[in-house]
Amino acid sequence: MTKNSVARVTALAASLILSGCISMGPANERPQASIEQSFGQLPEAPHAAFTLDAWQEFFPDTNARLMIKTALESNTDLRIAIARMAELEGRYQIQREDLFPSINGEVNQMRSQNSINVEGNDNLVDVYNAKVGLVSYELDLFGRVRSLNDAALAQYLSGVEAARSVKLSIIAQTANAYYSWVSAHRSLNLAEQTLQSRQDSLDLIQKRLDTGIASELDLAQAQASLATVRAQKAQFERAHAAAKSALELLLGKPLASLNLDTKELQLTEMALELPASIGSEVLLSRPDVLAAEQSLYAANANIGAARAAFFPSITLTGDYGFSSTEFDSLFGSDSNTWSFMPSIRIPIFGNALQANLDVANAQQQRLVAEYEKAVQQAFSEVYQLTTNSSTYVGELEANRSLVKAQRKRLALAEAKYKAGLASYLEVLNAQQDKFSAEQALLETERAQLANVISLYKALGGGDKVVTYEPTQQKNDNNNDVD
């Protein structure tokens, strides 16, 4: 084969690379999941675009932001996810190299000794070689190498979204753990205040009993009320300790090591300002849904690679260089050498190839089902959480009104008792009902916050701008998981 022949074959290979190759895998199309078309009470209204703030802006108080930042820095699950993402990126880069010819350069010297003595010859022969070689490059005529590259890229992008999903989960878990601890802290404070109030009432009744105004029954009722609150306080202490332990587990360090603003140990009001009607397509921007989608695309590409394996493959190997017994004349015009060795592989018995294709098809069907499940689960979460949002508004308003009424009732009952117009039992009932109403208000405030945080997570968080317009679908991949 002449140099011109080598050049023509090389040019053909390059043209095949540049012009692309056929793909034998299924087209990358999102499966149509059986879900509703919109959220909200006005499904007939136009779907409005909206954005979610990044978590640094979404959480208003400094303590919550400090907790989340600390958790993200120390959480092992996120470190594993990021390392996994880096591993998949490296695998993609390795696979991508197969798309291009691999050229190696080599310079060597070989010394040999002749077995026949020749007068004036020391029987030693040196041979110098310098060459540049094409190392086993496969012409991707049927898209096998391209499909493997596409699969590696999709797996990497799935890893990126998986890392984002882990990060978003950590943000939500930490925020919920922090506000649970704050809620437990406030409940414990309320129990301590109530206990002190019951003790003051018992002391007052004891004085009234000493002067003959109160009865032994009043004293016994006050003692029973004090013991009840003391038992409740012990329960709140356990709940507070459990909430603190759960939060420290997420943080990876004790709360005492953090510079917390004790003035902000309160349940901050938060709400998501969402339009009246949201298109269900916003769920396609959730990291877990995007991860499932990219895994499906990787399976499609693997099918293409398995199908292409049934066809012949052509591999090119060759080199061009110089060879001489004298180093000084190594690169002379008369010392050049070359070799070119194309080879073709044709499958004859395809049992293993068919098995590989069957496996790839089965994996693709499984991932289609997993993608549909991810979308349906996302829809269920968002639907339930958006429904909850509207109900908490009325519940909070009712609980605040109830607390206000119970406080007024207690004040009136105490005044009537002191005036001798009511029994102490009426005061005890008012005290207990007021305490229960205040606890119910704290629990509702906590539940409303948990719902807002969960809805923020269910909508995909604010790491990536979530925008939906009726005429298009967003499917951009954001590689930033910091």
Judged by average pLDDT, the poorest of 1-10, 149-158, 285-294, 413-422 is: 1-10
CB atoms within 10 A of CB 45: 13
Rounded to 10 degrees, what is the CA torsion of 168, 171, 174, 177? -70
What is the per-residue pLDDT for 270? 74
| 385 vs 4, higher pLDDT | 385
> Nearest to residue 283, comparing CAs of 47, 6, 23?
47
Q: How far is CA 235 from the centre of its chain?
A: 35
Kindly state the tokens that stand for 219.
Answer: 């004293």
CATH number listed for the domain at residues 16-100+143-312+360-458: 1.20.1600.10
d(CA 466, CA 53): 9
- Angle at which helices 216-251 and 144-210 pack, to 10 degrees? 160
Query: CA 258, 71, 380 angle in degrees (round to 5)?
Result: 135
> Nearest to residue 406, comparing CAs of 381, 385, 384, 427?
427
What average pLDDT does this structure show over 385-393? 87
Q: How far is CA 474 from the centre of its chain?
A: 18
For residue 104, is pLDDT > 80?
no
d(CA 148, CA 75): 33
pLDDT over 70 percentage in the chain: 72
Q: What is the DSSP string of 192-208?
A: HHHHHHHHHHHHHHHHH
d(CA 152, CA 147): 9
d(CA 195, CA 109): 94
Residue 331, φ and ψ in degrees, nearest 5:
-100, 25
> pLDDT digit string (tens) for 178-201?
999 999 999 999 999 999 988 988
pLDDT over 90 percentage in the chain: 19
What is the per-residue pLDDT for 146? 83
Q: What is the DSSP string of 311-362?
A: S-EEEEEEEEEEEESSGGGTT-TTSEEEEEEEEEE--S--HHHHHHHHHHHH
Kindly state the tokens that stand for 381.
Answer: 């979460």
> pLDDT digit string (tens) for 28-58?
777 776 665 555 543 444 455 567 888 888 8
Q: Kindly report each contact of residues 324-330 with a partner whose C-beta sits within 8 Å and lies 24 or more positions away, as own/partner.
A: 324/127, 324/128, 325/125, 325/126, 325/127, 325/128, 326/128, 327/109, 327/126, 327/128, 330/128, 330/130
What is the per-residue pLDDT for 219? 87
What is the per-residue pLDDT for 33? 65
**Cα separation of the two ends of the chain:** 56
d(CA 324, CA 114): 17
Q: Is 172 exposed, middle or buried (0-12, 13-18, 19+ CB in 10 A)?
A: buried
Residue 17 confidence class, pLDDT cut points 50, 70, 90? very low
Q: Which helix (H) or strand (E) is 123 found in, with range?
A: none
Q: Is 29 exposed, middle or buried (0-12, 13-18, 19+ CB in 10 A)?
A: exposed
For residue 414, is pLDDT > 80?
yes
| Most distant CA atoms of the chain, gap in Å | 142
Kindly state the tokens that stand for 27.
Answer: 């087209």
Q: How many residues does the chain have?
A: 482
> Nearest to residue 476, comparing CAs of 206, 235, 243, 293?
293
| 136 vs 144, higher pLDDT | 144
What average pLDDT does this structure show over 87-106? 75
Strand partners, 95: none
What is the per-residue pLDDT for 77? 82
What is the per-residue pLDDT for 42? 39
What is the per-residue pLDDT for 468? 32
Q: Which position has the token pair 């260089």?
A: 321
- Angle at which helices 62-74 and 144-210 pack, to 10 degrees? 130
Q: Is 250 exposed, middle or buried (0-12, 13-18, 19+ CB in 10 A)?
A: buried
What average pLDDT does this structure show over 119-124? 59
What average pLDDT does this structure show over 4-8? 41
Residue 257 confidence class, pLDDT cut points 50, 70, 90? confident
* Contact of 95 with 149, CB cutoff 8 Å: yes
* Contact of 125 with 114, CB cutoff 8 Å: yes
Torsion sign, CA atoms 265, 267, 272, 273: negative
What is the per-residue pLDDT for 324? 57
